[in-house]
Amino acid sequence: MSADDAHERWRNSTGTLGDRSAYKRVWDRQARDFDVASLAVAGHTDEPTMDLTARGFIDTLRATVGLDRNDVVLEIGCGIGRVGKLLGGECLQWFGADISGGMLGHAAARLQGLPNTRLVELSTVGLQEFPEDAFDLVYCTIVFMHLYEWDRYRYVEEAFRVLRPGGRGYFDNYPLDSEHGWNVFTEGARYPIDRRPAHISMASTREELGIYLSKAGFEAVRVVDLPNQLIAATGRKPGQGARRRP
Ligand SMILES: C[S@@+](CC[C@H](N)C(=O)[O-])C[C@H]1O[C@@H](n2cnc3c(N)ncnc32)[C@H](O)[C@@H]1O
């Protein structure tokens, strides 16, 4: 399939805004074939570019929340395992969780032969499949723009629960107050109301993300600008403690 065909199929694949909360259905539709799924999660279909952007994100994690070889790490909304394919080699264990079984099917194929990676399909919004205090680092990248605000907060609360005391959290989105974030906002506004796609990107304010982390109990909360048009909210679960088995 050509990149143009894949783009066209992606645009037509998700349903309208009224379906937005039906995350499983919306994202399984985008996972029907690998090219469409890659476009939906990464904006391109070729493996070298995917690796390059994953490497860039791992550098961002290092610079914002730190990364340690002994970390047990959870990605919320891991898609086709763009990041996990490389991050798996840099931590003790990498878990990828996603609401779309279709996306995880593609991830499983890409992560074949990486013994310290595991994929978990989420039954609904939340991390109910994981026990508390199980991870050193929980992150969520390029997902919040596709979620309603209540669901963004649910994942922040849930990340706090599954992090061990002293564990770190990372969440990103487009900021409404940047040129790019404002373009995302106005592009959405230009759609006829009944034709806005279910997965349409919705930016966050810096204040919103900071409030979520503080209300959930994180300390040392920061909201920082990243080089790639995103902002990231980061924080630490108070205390120090060992992790349990995830
Ligand atoms: C744009 S992709 C990003 C994938 C991955 N984080 C990356 O950076 O390559 C968004 C992902 O979020 C997942 N997703 C959408 N809604 C979700 C939800 N409510 N809970 C968990 N994952 C969700 C989708 O299935 C998709 O894999």
pLDDT tens column, 108-153: 999 999 999 999 999 999 999 999 999 999 999 999 999 999 999 9
Residue nearest to atom 14 of ligand 1 (CA): 77
CB of 142 within 6 A of ligand 1: the answer is yes
Q: Which of 161, 162, 175 is nearest to 224 (CA)?
A: 175
Tokens of 91: 């931590």
The encoded tokens of residue 60 equal 């961002």
**pLDDT tens, 43-87?**
888 899 999 999 999 999 999 999 999 999 999 999 999 999 999
Atom of ligand 1 minimally distant from the CA of 82: 9
CB-ligand 1 contact for 125 (6 Å cutoff) = yes
* Whether the Cβ atoms of residue 26 and residue 15 lie closer than 8 Å to each other: yes
**How far is CA 54 from each of CA 47, 123, 133, 163, rounded to the nearest angstrom?**
10, 26, 26, 23
Pairing of strands 219-225, 231-236: antiparallel
Of 83, 85, 94, nearest in space to 59 by CA: 83
- Supply 154's token pair: 């649910």
- Which CATH homologous superfamily contains domain 3-236? Vaccinia Virus protein VP39 (3.40.50.150)
For ligand 1, whether the C-beta of 24 sits within 6 Å is no
| 190: number of Cβ within 10 Å | 7
Is the C-alpha dihedral spanning 68, 69, 71, 73 positive or negative? positive
Indicate which atom in ligand 1 lies nearest the CA of residue 155.
20
Against a cut of 0.85, is the pTM above it?
yes
* Three-state SS at 173: strand
